Amino acid sequence: TVLPRWRVFFALWPDDDTRARITVLADRLYQCLDGGGRRLRPQRYHLTLQFLGEHPEPCQPLLDAACRAATRMRVPPFELVLDRAGSFRNRAAVCWLGCSAMPTGLQALREALRLALARESLRVHKDRRFVPHLTLVRDASQPWPETALEEPLCWQVRGFSLMRSDMERQFAYGEVGKWTLG
Contacting residues toward ligand 2AM, per CB under 6 A = 7, 9, 48, 51, 94, 125, 127-128, 135, 165
DSSP secondary structure letter of residue 146: P
As measured in angstroms, the least distance from the Cβ of 171 to ligand 2AM is: 7
Residue 91 or 158: which CB sits closer to ligand 2AM?
A: 91
As measured in angstroms, the least distance from the Cβ of 40 to ligand 2AM is: 9
As measured in angstroms, the least distance from the Cβ of 94 to ligand 2AM is: 5
CA distance 170 to 166: 7
As measured in angstroms, the least distance from the Cβ of 44 to ligand 2AM is: 9
Residue 76 or 118: which CB sits closer to ligand 2AM?
A: 118
Q: Which helix (H) or strand (E) element contains residue 111?
A: helix 104-119
Residue 76 or 111: which CB sits closer to ligand 2AM?
A: 111
CA distance 154 to 91: 26
DSSP assignment of 72-106 equals H-----EEEEEEEEEE-SS-TT-EEEE-SS--HHH
CA distance 127 to 56: 20
Residue 78 or 173: which CB sits closer to ligand 2AM?
A: 173
Q: Count CA atoms closer than 13 A to 28's CA, side-chain side.
A: 13
